[in-house]
Structure 1
Amino acid sequence: MSTTAQQCPYSPQQETAQDREPGERPEEGAPSLDFERATPYVDYVGVDTLLGLKRPRTDEPAESAFILTTQVMELLFTLVAEHWEAARDALEADDVPGALAWLRRSRNAQDVLTGSWDLLADMTPTQFNRFRDAFGEASGFQSYTYRHLEFLLGNKSGPMVRPHKGMPRVAERLTAVLESPGLYDAALRLLARRGLPVPDEAVDRDWTRPYEEAPGVVEAWARVYADERDDNELLLLAEALMDVAERVTRWRHRHLMAVKRTMGGKPGSGGSNGLTWLARNAEKDVFPELWRLRDTL
């Protein structure tokens, strides 16, 4: 056995009670091996529940990868949302260092989220077609965790709460996010409080409406970038927001490519013109003035 395998914490090469002579004391530092019921690890992580959630409906092996990848993404959506909400709340409290810490954490989760598409990279159209009919009208378009992220990014839409009206707690949560400032809104409100020329309509607006680009916001960010001091926390915030925005676009583009590779331009399972809708979404800039600013610097 290789050195790596011998050092692996999951290796079965551990001393057990059967390996010891009667009366012999266990090796110092050896893990506990005797439990009356499920191990604490299984209880804490919910392993049995987690593994029981993979329920393919066909005999096509690629369906398992499809289900697991989707479930991993759903978990990561919730983690990213927690980080973005914490960053937003920190900005509303004028705590820029705290917001930066949460945005850094979110970048790590976003990188894993984007990399999750690799799990489906080798799935062929034939394999996908063998199980596609099994999930009927189910579509990622219906994911309320993903919708939560889009609302936090400023891509607001009241009708997008409607698919979840049969789940009152979910609809209530999405409505709360819909009616509250998003991550970028909080950043612009902070800039205004710091005396930068953010237009009034960007500081106090109808939060249920999608964010619309404003030339005056570009000027506010231009003043931030004019101060290149290492301790300019507003410049650090701008770049951290750019990191988030770029990763959102990467994920959207990987989604587009995954769909294009497995099903081409056929209509999506949720009824949308799948490829066209995804392409339009991938082209949409997140935090647009931060991108537009680069045309003028």
Structure 2
Amino acid sequence: MENFSLEDYKVTKQIKLSDYKTELDSFWDDDKKEEELDQLRNKLSEWQDIMYAHNRYGVLIGLQGMDTSGKDSLIREVFKEFNPRGVVVHSFKTPNSTELEHDYLWRHYLALPEKGKFAVFNRTHYENLLVTRVHPEYILNENLPGIENVADIQPEFWENRFEQINNFEKHITQNGTIVMKFFFYMSKNEQKKRLLKRLEDENHQWKFSSGDLKERGFWDDYMKYYEEILNKTSNEKAPWYIIPADDKDMARYLVAKIMWEELQKYPVNEPVLSEKDKANFEMYKEQLRK
């Protein structure tokens, strides 16, 4: 990975997923991957402390991928050195009754990071351009004007959602939220191996859901809609990165590396004490001694 380049993973032009690998050719062994990741997560943790003191930016990390692609374990491993108060993880599931009484982006606005903090969206607002494309009947739960049945959901509806989500991200980036979005690109065969492992390992059987098998049947549809999302919603201020996800250790390293490289572009510095405070240090010390 000495020749690491952001541009190899960043979506900056129209892409075809079939042109990307789901696993990199790596000469690193597992110990080397862990060593490199450890260095990065320590640097990220220190940067987060400085960002907290700077109090001008928040960071939103969006994670998308098929079931078993490694999102949960990545959160655990990449952010383990962070101050727990400095990172908040949101796992967005099927909208509940309260959330359905608002527009589909409402719950995501509520979960945006405070200045000085990281927020991780484990599944993101893009579920509204993904799962609902595969299962358009879910849109009916939103009780939208003019949408009485699936036949009422025309192509213009989806184009409007693309525009709305792009505007959402434009708004938050202009107001101090740094956005990075990661798509975990896993092969269908690798997912099969991981699902079988869940079934065969008693310690992991609780993770298995028959729903995973149902959604696996829509694999090609999901890939088609992921490709469309990547092409229509990646831009310089809210970029998408395609992460080869068949090797979990390497995927974690790549996400941490990309985060580190991107965050260096932002002018984040520790606050500087005023000259008045510096000049009065001795007086303050004397007051404390007394």
Q: Which has the higher helix share?
A: 1
Common fold: TM-score over 0.5 = no
Q: Which range, TM-score by smaller chain?
A: under 0.3
The TM-score, its normalising length taken from structure 1, stands at 0.24
Tell me: higher relative CO, structure 1 or 2? Use CA pairs within 8 A at least 6 residues apart.
Answer: 2
